[in-house]
Structure 1
Amino acid sequence: MLPTIHKSCNDMLRKWEMSFSKDESCELDVWPHIQTDVISRTAFGSNFEEGRKIFEVLSEQINLVIQASLFAYIPGWRFVPNKLNRKLNSNHNEMGELVKGIVNKRKEALKVGKASNNDDLLGILMESNHKEIQEKETGMSIEEVIEECKLFYLAGQETTASLLVWTMVLLCIHPEWQERAREEVCQVFGNREPKFEELNQLKVVSKSIELPLGL
């Protein structure tokens, strides 16, 4: 996934640079970009724009579920056709249609022999599932694939994205660590695309990420 993440980060940084002039300071909310851009690319590859839409709807769905949980103690409340429940059902259906559209494209590609390049999580999942169906006549249903896509998002948002944002906050509070981390990255990678086997050389960067974890 490293090349995909590298490309996503480069695109994200270009967007940030275009959002303000060099002569002015600017307040930028990095959370939405880290939360959806990288996850969308690693999960859906070339379909990342559709994936981003899925994650946006899912994020809204999570907030709605939290609101609905306040009324969970009322028997039958989830069946009441109020605004909240209608939106929950609408989002559920929209996510299903979006994921089905992407999955159907992948299934058609597999049928005509265009195997996935395994460059995204959905491609790996679909190819593995396709082989399982061919060899054992068992496999995941479309509903189970949708649930896996939700898991992609939740795992990325609640772990990696949160950790990265908090790390950036701490690096801003401690600029001396920010400078040390930048120097190390420039020394190890220069202007080259990073290689996976070189990541273990980033000692200062690793320490910077360990700080938010309390390690």
Structure 2
Amino acid sequence: MDLHYWIIFGATVFGVSLIPGPSTLIAFAHGAAHGWGRSISTALGNALASTFQATAASVGLGLLITSSGSLLLVLKYAGAAYLIYVGVQIWRTASHRLPLHANLDRRGDARRKLFLSGFTVAISNPKAIAFFTALFPQFLSLEGNSFAQLGGMVAVVAFTAFSVALFYGCIGAWVRGLELSRKVMSRIHKTTGGLFVASGVGLAFSRNS
């Protein structure tokens, strides 16, 4: 694949990844709650999930999943339920008037929890596999090594997922640094939680086509 195709592919993945969604919202929430350093764990979880999804698409699992209506429904509703659950938990945190920057230092596995949270939120969207399944063939060149090209695409996806999630985590950390009032931070919590619930409901009622 020529260099300009790689640039177009990278720009496409980056542009889509920048669109606010559950993965960016959880990175923002973690950055606002624990600082940009801790949000690196969230970004790594998001990148690993995106790597799995892109790899699944590149080896043909995407076609299997997207062609199986019942399997896609199960994955979709499971993902929607998890997003709603995360949204409710964030909303409850605001309702209990806990500070957005609650300290996790008391838990030795804090980074693991953030990593798993970032991973689970990202992996809960089965349509990401369908997206990669549709995107990758558009940039494959018959003249080159298909496995090498797909490997490069997966690497680009992983790097982009990490970078964008960390970017949103840094935005959240910046908000944290403003030291806003508890009332304002509570509203940020509720807005973030509401967006998660809306994402889950939207995923549940979305069409599979």
TM-score range, shorter chain: 0.3 to 0.5
TM-score by length of 2: 0.37
